[in-house]
Amino acid sequence: MKVIAIANQKGGVGKTSTAVNLAAALAARGKEILLIDVDSQANATSALGIAVAGEHSLYQVLIGNKRLDEVMFATGRRHLSIVPAHMDLSGVEVELTHDGAHTVCMQHALVGLREANQFDYVIMDTPPSLGVLMTASLCACDEVLTPMQCEFLSLEGLSKILYVIGQIRDSGVNPSIVHEGIIMTMYNNTNLANMVIEQVQENLPQQLYETVIPRSVRVAEAPSFGKTVLEHDPDGAAAWAYKNAAKEFLRRHR
């Protein structure tokens, strides 16, 4: 079992869309996938058409009231399960900062799951900040996958997340964390977008996914139907891009 955090401290870069659609595309290829929604906005949860009460969400696990498998739900899709979020999750930002509890809460939550080895991949959708939940996720994951918009300021955001990953590695809490990849999102064929991709290619060639996710209103529409883009527009460019990203992900993890 490998745990992948989809992370970028910038908001609106396609983290949730990538977490949901990559998870769905991996599940469609027969991999056993658990999506953990680590954002109190619960966008990944609602994108899959799921709604839960607070007592059945990740928050209860992080504060030590429940085990992860007690708040795990089927999504109605083969091979795809979810640990949903609820807005109460924002509470951990204040409740878990004592004694460094936030650095280990997610690690501890995952111990049983790693032992059971029921899933091939656990995908975590993380919030857009460098707060407690993001730190908890980075401390617990094996790898980080960063969705990035094809914009100039994205490069600054990228160096920030690489820096934070380095800090977490050096702190000893998660010495084996690796930055696995970068996936460019909301691509539109402009000079700027191509220039940004070129720069990432030059600086981090091993990490850049060949697959680029195009800008498509279908990706934005899908969550309002509680569907992934693979369900909402299966033959559209964005669905194909996420299917290709899943293929590439599996090639990189062989």
Ligand X SMILES: Nc1ncnc2c1ncn2[C@@H]1O[C@H](COP(=O)(O)OP(=O)(O)O)[C@@H](O)[C@H]1O
Q: Which helix (H) or strand (E) holds 2?
A: strand 2-6
Min CB(55)–ligand X separation in Å: 25
Check binding of 15 to Mg ion (CB under 5 A). yes
Which residues have CB under 8 Å from 30's CB, separation 6+? 79
Stretch that binds Mg ion, among 11-19, 28-36, 59-67, 180-188 (CB under 5 A): 11-19
Check binding of 16 to Mg ion (CB under 5 A). yes
Check binding of 153 to ligand X (CB under 6 A). no
Return the one option of ligand X, Mg ion, none that residue 186 interacts with (CB less than 5 to 8 A, by type): ligand X
Residues 25-64 that bind Mg ion (CB under 5 A): 43
Q: Which helix (H) or strand (E) holds 136?
A: helix 132-140
Distance CA 148, CA 12 (A): 9
Residues 173-212 that bind ligand X (CB under 6 A): 185-186
CA dihedral 229, 204, 253, 68 (to 10 degrees): -60
CA torsion sign for 216, 5, 223, 160 is negative
Which is closer to ligand X, CB of 113 or CB of 241? 241
Cβ contact 226:49 at 8 Å: yes
Check binding of 48 to ligand X (CB under 6 A). no
- Interface ranges with Mg ion (CB under 5 A): 15-16, 43
By the criterion CB under 6 A, which residues form the site for ligand X?
A: 11-17, 43, 128, 185-186, 213, 215-216, 219-220, 238
